[in-house]
């Protein structure tokens, strides 16, 4: 049987967080419900971050309260600190995602603190998650290149991945946040990271600024990774990462994986409908 690759859908969070126009909660709920019908195992649907920093994500609790919860689909949300974790847990998420940067410049821009401080801030989340039996996903941003600091040394990524592993993250997603990675650069970074975390615990998170996301994903598959983050309709970007284009589009990744002989378990017709809906939300 063909190898399975999970597409971790991030559109309702990484996609919509960057939209300048306020998107009604009911539209966010409708998008998630459409995605739930596509066959995803996991969908990231909200962020419990400061509403002063990312106003678009201020309605996370309402989104989680309003969506259908079909069996077999797990819903994740982002949390930057214990306050965010507690709000995510109260909203009954299945998985909490924490996020740090491999570069100091982006850490300051996105989290208003150093990389070391951001990891310290995660300790109380890790403790609470252990007590609650909550699955933790970690994100590392700027794994190859940073608009503030330039090239990211692979060793710096490996150190942050090791710290997230030690905090209890079951999975770490490696973010080419500004979409500047080459397959060779991503591969060199993976060579360092794989000394700290096995491929089964890693995901590739690509933005498609330079049109190389699919070849970067191929490099990740070559190294044994089997989870790929993507955003329906190619929605996305990061409000604190200048130059970051949208995430690689889910439907593009799904078609690419199918053409390469991988199974994703996704219903391509339902996915095309969800992508058309997502693009309409952009206005
Ligand atoms: P701060 O201003 O340094 O800290 O923000 P603060 O503690 O003074 O908080 C400021 C205000 O926010 C306070 O309110 C807090 O109570 C409130 P005030 O007292 O002024 O009325 N606050 C919160 N409210 C709700 N939920 C919370 C929360 N925390 C504080 N959880 C902070 C520090 C970390 C909060 C801020 O920098 C922040 O929220 N940053 C998030 C930025 C963000 O969401 N970026 C996008 C997601 S990351 C990404 O997209 C990359 C990724 O996709 C991977 C990749 O592509 O690389 C994951
Ligand atoms: Mg992202």
Answer whether 122's CB lies under 8 Å from 80's CB: no
Distance 241 CA to ligand 1 centre (A): 15
Task: Report the CATH architecture of 6-281.
Answer: Alpha-Beta Barrel (3.20)
66-93 confidence digits (pLDDT tens): 999 999 999 999 999 999 999 999 999 9
Q: Is 24 left (phi over 0), alpha (psi -120 to 50) or beta?
A: beta
> What is the residue with the minimal CA distance to atom 1 of ligand 1?
112
Reported as a single tens digit per residue, the pLDDT across 194-247 is: 999 999 999 999 999 889 999 999 999 999 999 999 999 999 877 787 877 789
Nearest-CA residue for ligand 1 atom 35 is: 50
pLDDT tens digit string along 235-261? 987 778 787 778 999 999 999 999 999
**Mean pLDDT score, 1-27:** 93
- Residue 38 appears among annotated catalytic residues: no
Pick the more confident residue, 19 or 197. 197
Ligand nearest to the CA of 18: 1
Q: Is 8 helix (H, G, I), strand (E, B) or coil?
A: strand
CA 16–ligand 1 middle distance (angstroms): 16
Compute the Cα dihedral for 115, 212, 252, 202 and give only its sign: negative
- Tens-digit pLDDT profile for residues 115-158: 999 999 999 999 999 999 999 999 999 999 999 999 999 999 99
Ligand 1: residue whose CA is nearest its atom 17: 50
Enumerate the β-bridge partners of residue 137. 97, 171
């Amino acid at each position: 049987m063909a190898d399975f690759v999970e597409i971790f859908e991030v559109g309702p969070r990484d996609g919509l967080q960057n939209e300048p126009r306020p998107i009604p909660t009911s539209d966010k709920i409708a998008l998630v419900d459409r995605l739930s019908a596509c066959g995803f195992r996991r969908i990231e649907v909200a962020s419990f971050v400061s509403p002063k920093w990312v106003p678009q994500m201020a309605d996370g609790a309402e989104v989680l309260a309003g969506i259908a919860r079909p069996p077999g689909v797990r819903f994740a949300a982002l949390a930057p600190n214990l306050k965010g974790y507690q709000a995510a847990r109260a909203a009954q998420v299945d998985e909490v995602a924490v996020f740090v940067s491999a570069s100091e410049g982006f850490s300051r821009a996105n989290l208003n603190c150093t990389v070391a401080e951001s990891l310290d801030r995660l300790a109380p989340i890790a403790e609470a998650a252990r007590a609650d039996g909550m699955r933790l996903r970690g994100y590392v941003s700027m794994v190859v290149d940073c608009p503030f600091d330039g090239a990211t040394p692979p060793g710096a990524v490996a150190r942050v991945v090791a710290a997230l592993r030690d905090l209890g993250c079951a999975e770490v997603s490696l973010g080419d946040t500004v979409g500047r990675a080459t397959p060779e650069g991503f591969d060199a970074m993976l060579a360092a990271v794989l000394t700290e975390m096995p491929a089964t615990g890693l995901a590739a998170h690509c933005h498609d600024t330079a049109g190389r996301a699919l070849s970067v994903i191929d490099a990740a598959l070559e190294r044994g990774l089997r989870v790929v983050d993507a955003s329906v309709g190619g929605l996305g970007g990061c409000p604190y990462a200048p130059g970051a284009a949208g995430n690689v589009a889910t439907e593009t990744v799904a078609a690419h994986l199918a053409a390469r002989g991988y199974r994703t378990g996704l219903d391509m017709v339902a996915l095309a409908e969800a992508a058309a809906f997502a693009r309409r939300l952009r206005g």
